[in-house]
Structure 1
Amino acid sequence: MTAPTPLPASAPPGHPVPRRRTGLSGLVRRLSATVAIGVLFAAGGLATDAAPAAAAATPAPTATAVDPQLVAASLGGGVVSPGDSLAISLGLTAGSAPLPASQATVAIGTEPLSTRAEVGNWLTSPRSERAPTIVGTASLDPAAAGERASAIVRVLASDPVLTDRAPGVYPVLASVTVAGRTLQSASVFVVPTGAAADVAVIVPITAPPTGRGLLSAEVLASLTAEDGALTAALTGVQGTDAIIAIDPAIVAAIRVLGTTAPATARDWLARFEALPNDRFALQFGDADPSAQVAAGVVPPLAPTSLAAYIDPAGLSGNDPEPTPTGSTAPSESDTDDESRLPTLDELLDVGATTDIWWPDAVTADVVAALGTGGALTLTDTTAVATSSPAAHARAGDAGLLVADADVSAALSAAAASPDALDRAASLAEASALETLPLTGTTTVVALQRDPTRTAVALRAAIDGARTLPGAQPRGLSALIGSEPSEVSIADEPLATARVEAVPALLSGEQRIESFASVIAEPSLLTGGERAEILQLLSLGWAGQDDAWEEALDTHAAATQATLSSVAILPPSPIQLVAADAEIPVGIKNDLPYPVTVTLHAHSDDLRLEVTESIDVEIGPQQSTRASLPVKARVGSGTVEVDLSLTSPTGVPIGDDQSLEVNVRADWETIGLVILSVLAAAFLAIGAVRTVRRIRRRPEAEGPEAEGPETDDAQAATDADSTAAEEQS
């Protein structure tokens, strides 16, 4: 549906390349090599009595083109109502060589361009005979290499070439001769009919593509800074009637951080929420719903959880307010939600009232699938086979919003251009195309995704959509409330690479989903994986094939790292010399969450009995040693023990390992037997020696036993004899 165009010189590296649809007038000459004209010409009508402006040389950044280039643009959106003058701005940009002073000529046609095909042909391949009336000349000052000489040619309202001119789109041709060659640039101006179609402008607000599930605080600070892309988008939309199509991942990235989000991001979110504009949500990450449907994913994917990104510290301010003095304290039932963390719906809420899909390209099957459940699909006139479809249409049972591809492309070019002159040329083209409407009484303008546009350019594009007198803004409810017309879908080629990437991403997600059962809250892993997948399917990657492939490779490596974050550490051989022992088994957990696993062991060798399984809990980003009970039987030798892990739900975790155990437990039994025998022998020898000593003792000690008794008797006899003698 879209074709890439050169990246503007001011676009920073890594930002998406603006794309333009190839409608009838899509091939408009655009000198994107020249940027930042020194003087910003007024977008409105100029004074009717002003004399032709003197040429003025204004410096411009160095042009990348080698040859000089001429740009002409009708100012004021190219609309010349009765009583207005026609102002045509000219810019001659020198290439690699400086340019001398020159004279430019401006001519206009007398016959209107009656179809969009004629407008497109004129802007891409002008023919001098279509603009025969010279209306003015201008002197262009010399310009150094890469600089631009500018001038304005004005045709007064009283000039006969403008008075009584019939409504229509008229050609404008500017010519200048430099270095022996004639340069030409075509533009158009419109004499309005006064019966312009109403206009609904849809502005997408997206961030540069990322492989992360949500934008980081650092990226948010950059995007919401005073000169940030998101700030420019919000400033450009603020105060207009544009319909906003926003990526909900942007607001979610700010909300999950709460008060810890950058101050500029919080201010941006408050400004966005205060806008009165109609709005709808793009798919999370601005993912391409067509690629998912084409890959068989119906309905398209949606976020499952953003809990992994929530910063509880930043959301502590969500606690209930303090109870005023004298009032009754809140009951436990009033404060049972201690954390008061936001739900997924609260994080993603953008204030939308209608479900609308906005794919890059569609087929009839895609539209039918996306229309299930009453959702609308936003597409454009290149995808509709019916001529002149209504802005609100229906293909079978599927509702559609049909944007005008040609007008959208012209205004998208204006919004993407940092150069005022190029922007004026695109605005004039858009007015011409709106004068030749395709979608009845309402024109829907869908600006292309571009996070690099400036606030000034975006506002000019939004306002330029209603340049035609009589055009009124249309809101989303008015569009949807109108009676739809029946249309048929012209199948467009889908982004093949994106379609082919979906199965591989979903395969990794299924493995993560199984693996996540090791933690108490699996959504902490599965939610982040789903968010990253949607970001990788973002339409913002268009035109950045190399960066996208690198992001896919990085994601695949990160998925594999997660799957291997919990595993058995390679074991070393174990020497087992005891009959009963506990073998240490190392298990790692690289996740930032605690895990619970079951360690399984198996051995077919009868020499070793192994406990079949044990449950192990491991703290976040830690390793532990699980003790595996084993029992050795009679025999020795090397035994292989197979080790594996499963989650509590039985899902295999990590790679299996094999543990080598050298069993020498029979030496313990033999040692005990020898020690027992020796102890028994020593006891027996001691007993024998004791018995033998006792048996020998009476024979050796008999005389000694009688000696004391004889001596005592003899002493008694002697005592008695002495006593008798004394008495006598």
Structure 2
Amino acid sequence: MTAPTPLSASVPPGTAAPRRWSGLAGLVRRASATLAIAVLVAAGAGVTGVAPAAATTTPSPSPTASDPQVVAAPLAGGVVSPGDSLAISIGLTAGTTALPATQATVSVGTDPLATRSDIDDWLASPAEDRAPTVVGTASLDPAAADERASAIVRVPASDPVLTDRAPGVYPVLTTVTAAGRTLQSASVFVIPTAATTDVAVIVPITAPPTGRGLLSTDDLAGLTAQDGSLTAALTGVQGTDAIIAVDPAILAAIRVLGTTAPATARDWLTRFEALPNDRFALQFGDADPAAQVAAGVVPPLAPTSLAAYIDPTGFAGDDPAPTPTPTGTATPSNSDTDDASGLPTLDELMDVGATTALWWPESVTADVLSALGAGGTLTITATTAIATPTPPARARAGEAGLLVTDADLSAALSRAADAPDALDRSAALAEASALEALPATGGATIVALDRNPDRTAVALRAAIDAAQTFPGARPLALGTVISGEPGEVSISDEALATARVDAVPRLLDGEQRIETFASVIADPTLLTGVERAEILQLLSLGWTGQDAAWAEALDTHAAATQTTLSAVGILPPSPIQLVAADAEIPVGIRNDLPYPVTVTLHAHSDDLRLEVAEDIPVEIGPEQSTRASLPVKARVGSGTVEVDLSLTSPTGVRIGPEQSLEVNVRADWETIGLIVLSVLAAAFLLLGAVRTVRRIRRRPEAEEPETAGPDTTTDADTTEPPKEQS
């Protein structure tokens, strides 16, 4: 599968895109866009001057209320440069009841809104007397329930209401009467000055929060698909001057798989590495460094090993996935894999191509900033944490170096980047333009978009462009911001996420137990590295606003930790009948880990009737059980003996719970048995002898056999003797 097509057709995936327009080119672009809108409006309405566009009825993107709602906003980000017209887009969304045709009226103010407070007040609660000049009306077609009727009101550039205006931020009020109610929508437009300002836009690229140490293959396939959120984020920043803040866990999740990673994920990684944008690494998993520091963890945690996640088959071919050499110091300088193995090291897995390291917590206090800045690393913080009026973008609070972002402008542009609906996005962009026209920081302006992994590429690009193509804006590089001379500021403590701070000690306690237990395997980092990665993911800022899901993830992790700790142990033994003086008793030991383990079996008995071997080393294969032979020797006496069994790792750490083996010693049975057997054997021998003798005596006497030889008899011997005469 090829990489998704970027927003600009002239920018092929994986290549550096041209810089976005700025200055005069930006004005030309806005003017062209506005002119195109004007042509469409004129063609549809068939009138000139202040003409409404042909009203259309389109489905509302996300109606959430039963009452009708009206939203109106200037196009082109609300910026009206000399020679530009003012176009107001209007959308009337019906509630649960259909609306008949109606008319919208647009009016503007003559006096500018001088401060940001004035802008906030106007947008929150518009006062009609601040916008007395009616500049146009538009007809809105009937709208069915939960549908939207739209129109555009355009004020030509030649209208005196625009040509006679001085630079500034001016109120716009749109009024609609619907369902017997008067609905109003307040917005603003900006007549820019000729002043120039440097603007840096920081865009976070993060994934949805997870309790796993790394994203799974299925997660990567979905997030980097053509319609995936990571693809949208990459497409949104490609071709802009945005500064990318990326979660290194995303890159590591792809790199550990090598060639076995989904094709879309490998294409995404290639495109990311080819971007020319300045960048820095967020903490692994976008973990909250402020919560860790507040819990006493200084410096914040870093991954120790990702070796357990590496798929060796992804690096077995002739063309393994490339693993870039680290170019900066934004990731820990740990190496958990031997380069000679051909597998990537921890540094290579987490490299984002940054040349500097930054902390970006959600909220800070003076103590947190002091701890984070102790190592010389700068911290990104918002103007809401700065007590000094109009702070510089590059600041210092004591020894802590800061990059100060414009909180209000960042929030407005974040709403624009989050808005899937074009009209809602236009309203947010108009507000952002007004805020940018009244800077809150001295010198440069830094915008930091909120973390949101579900933005569309179009909305994200619109927010970035609005900030950096504002008339007079010049894109500011990260290195330039950092190298600026810092101004001293004071800190106004913000509220930290208490639940996240409280979770840190509990997670570290589980990690400590895993660390001691892991000595049962040859490479303990296979267990400790996974535990550390999961802890950082659970401390992610992405869990903000998802309290129930986060609590469930914490419980799941705690259960998994306990499962790991109980993965090796002695199987409950059954009672043993010992009838011999010497024997070997089998003891079952299980190993549920996917790695071979080495343990020592210890046996102890205080009973003198039984002598047991005390230490027996045992090796068990992965996910197997084995039987260890425990030599025992019975002594004088019989009875029941309790033998205490336990396991320790090669470093002497107790593994699993102890077990008690019950041995019924009956060793004197062996002597009795030998005597009985001897007596029986002698009796059988005697009986056999008696029977043999008696059988011989009853047998008839044997006759003498004739002696064979030569015949030696003579005739005299054979002559009958003479008969006696009578």
| Kept after mapping to 2: 8 A contact 1:197/1:437 | no
SS at match of 1:433: helix
**What's the counterpart of residue 363 of structure 1?**
365
| Kept after mapping to 1: 8 A contact 2:175/2:183 | yes
| Kept after mapping to 1: 8 A contact 2:203/2:448 | yes
Residues in 2 aligned to 1:507 and 1:128: alpha-carbon distance in whole angstroms: 60
**What's the counterpart of residue 425 of structure 1?**
427
- Cα deviation digits, residues 635-692 of structure 1 (max 9, x gap): 11111111000101010101110011111111102222444567679999999999xx
- Cα deviation digits, residues 475-514 of structure 1 (max 9, x gap): 1001001111111111111000000000000000000000
Does 2:170 match 1:170? yes
Letter in 2 for 1:102: T
**What's the counterpart of residue 283 of structure 1?**
283
Among residues 395, 398, 411, which one is paired with 2:400 in the alignment?
398
SS at match of 1:616: strand
Residues in 1 aligned to 2:682 and 2:345: alpha-carbon distance in whole angstroms: 78
Among residues 372, 387, 390, which one is paired with 1:385 in the alignment?
387
Residues in 2 aligned to 1:506 and 1:451: alpha-carbon distance in whole angstroms: 27
Alignment of 1:213-232 (within 5 A): 213-232=213-232
| Kept after mapping to 2: 8 A contact 1:62/1:147 | no
Does 2:254 match 1:254? yes
**What's the counterpart of residue 599 of structure 1?**
601
**What's the counterpart of residue 551 of structure 2?**
549
- Cα deviation digits, residues 393-436 of structure 1 (max 9, x gap): 11111110000000000000000000000100111101100111
SS at match of 1:606: coil
Range moving further from structure 2, 115-124 or 155-164: 155-164
Structure 1 residue 469: Cα displacement: 1.2
Distance 1:632 1:178, change over 3 A: same
Alignment of 1:78-157 (within 5 A): 78-157=78-157
Residues in 1 aligned to 2:462 and 2:574: alpha-carbon distance in whole angstroms: 71
**What's the counterpart of residue 45 of structure 1?**
34
SS at match of 2:622: coil
Residues in 2 aligned to 1:450 and 1:211: alpha-carbon distance in whole angstroms: 18
Distance 1:480 1:527, change over 3 A: same
Residues in 1 aligned to 2:114 and 2:685: alpha-carbon distance in whole angstroms: 128
- Cα deviation digits, residues 229-267 of structure 1 (max 9, x gap): 000000000000000000000000000000000000000
Range moving further from structure 2, 462-471 or 521-530: 462-471
Letter in 1 for 2:550: W
Residues in 2 aligned to 1:414 and 1:684: alpha-carbon distance in whole angstroms: 111
Letter in 2 for 1:560: Q
Structure 1 residue 67: Cα displacement: 0.6
**What's the counterpart of residue 209 of structure 1?**
209
- Cα deviation digits, residues 173-195 of structure 1 (max 9, x gap): 00011111100000000111111
Does 2:300 match 1:300? yes
SS at match of 2:390: coil
**What's the counterpart of residue 12 of structure 2?**
none
Structure 1 residue 438: Cα displacement: 1.3
Residues in 1 aligned to 2:688 and 2:220: alpha-carbon distance in whole angstroms: 91
Root-mean-square deviation (Å): 2.6
- Long gaps (5+) in structure 2: 1-29, 43-47, 322-337, 695-703, 705-712, 718-726
SS at match of 2:146: coil
Does 2:299 match 1:310? no
**What's the counterpart of residue 637 of structure 2?**
635
| Kept after mapping to 2: 8 A contact 1:251/1:269 | yes
Structure 1 residue 353: Cα displacement: 0.8
Distance 1:557 1:43, change over 3 A: farther
| Kept after mapping to 2: 8 A contact 1:633/1:666 | no
Letter in 2 for 1:108: V
Letter in 2 for 1:205: I
Residues in 1 aligned to 2:648 and 2:71: alpha-carbon distance in whole angstroms: 69
- Long gaps (5+) in structure 1: 1-40, 322-335, 694-707, 709-717, 723-728
Letter in 1 for 2:35: L
Distance 1:605 1:83, change over 3 A: same
**What's the counterpart of residue 709 of structure 2?**
none
Residues in 1 aligned to 2:89 and 2:350: alpha-carbon distance in whole angstroms: 45
**What's the counterpart of residue 456 of structure 2?**
454
Does 2:471 match 1:482? no
Letter in 2 for 1:75: L
- Cα deviation digits, residues 344-399 of structure 1 (max 9, x gap): 00000000111100000000011011112211100110011111111111111111
Range moving further from structure 2, 534-543 or 41-50: 41-50
| Kept after mapping to 1: 8 A contact 2:61/2:421 | no
SS at match of 2:160: coil
| Kept after mapping to 2: 8 A contact 1:312/1:339 | no
- Cα deviation digits, residues 423-481 of structure 1 (max 9, x gap): 00111101100111111221100000000110000000000102421110001001001
Residues in 2 aligned to 1:277 and 1:640: alpha-carbon distance in whole angstroms: 70
Structure 1 residue 317: Cα displacement: 3.6
SS at match of 2:563: helix
Structure 1 residue 575: Cα displacement: 0.8
Range moving further from structure 2, 57-66 or 392-401: 57-66
Distance 1:689 1:231, change over 3 A: closer
Distance 1:431 1:44, change over 3 A: farther
| Kept after mapping to 2: 8 A contact 1:79/1:467 | no
Provide TM-score, normalisation by structure 1.
Answer: 0.85
Alignment of 1:333-372 (within 5 A): 339-372=341-374
Letter in 2 for 1:234: L
**What's the counterpart of residue 441 of structure 2?**
439
- Cα deviation digits, residues 577-627 of structure 1 (max 9, x gap): 111000000000000000000000011111111000100000000000111
SS at match of 1:107: strand
Residues in 2 aligned to 1:318 and 1:413: alpha-carbon distance in whole angstroms: 47
SS at match of 1:46: helix
| Kept after mapping to 1: 8 A contact 2:258/2:320 | no
Among residues 579, 582, 599, which one is paired with 2:581 in the alignment?
579
Residues in 2 aligned to 1:43 and 1:102: alpha-carbon distance in whole angstroms: 30
Question: How high is the sequence identity, in percent, across the aligned residues?
Answer: 79
Distance 1:657 1:43, change over 3 A: farther
**What's the counterpart of residue 610 of structure 1?**
612
Residues in 2 aligned to 1:317 and 1:350: alpha-carbon distance in whole angstroms: 25
SS at match of 1:210: coil
Alignment of 1:643-722 (within 5 A): 643-676=645-678
Residues in 2 aligned to 1:610 and 1:496: alpha-carbon distance in whole angstroms: 54
- Cα deviation digits, residues 69-105 of structure 1 (max 9, x gap): 0111011111111111111111111111111100100
Provide TM-score, normalisation by structure 2.
Answer: 0.86
**What's the counterpart of residue 191 of structure 1?**
191
Residues in 1 aligned to 2:581 and 2:525: alpha-carbon distance in whole angstroms: 45
Distance 1:686 1:223, change over 3 A: closer
Distance 1:659 1:158, change over 3 A: same
**What's the counterpart of residue 3 of structure 1?**
none
Residues in 2 aligned to 1:141 and 1:320: alpha-carbon distance in whole angstroms: 61
SS at match of 2:35: coil
SS at match of 1:571: coil
SS at match of 1:177: strand
SS at match of 1:207: coil
Structure 1 residue 54: Cα displacement: 2.0
SS at match of 1:145: coil
SS at match of 1:465: helix
Structure 1 residue 633: Cα displacement: 1.1
Residues in 1 aligned to 2:69 and 2:60: alpha-carbon distance in whole angstroms: 13
| Kept after mapping to 1: 8 A contact 2:380/2:403 | yes
| Kept after mapping to 2: 8 A contact 1:379/1:401 | yes
SS at match of 2:34: coil
**What's the counterpart of residue 409 of structure 2?**
407
Does 2:255 match 1:266? no
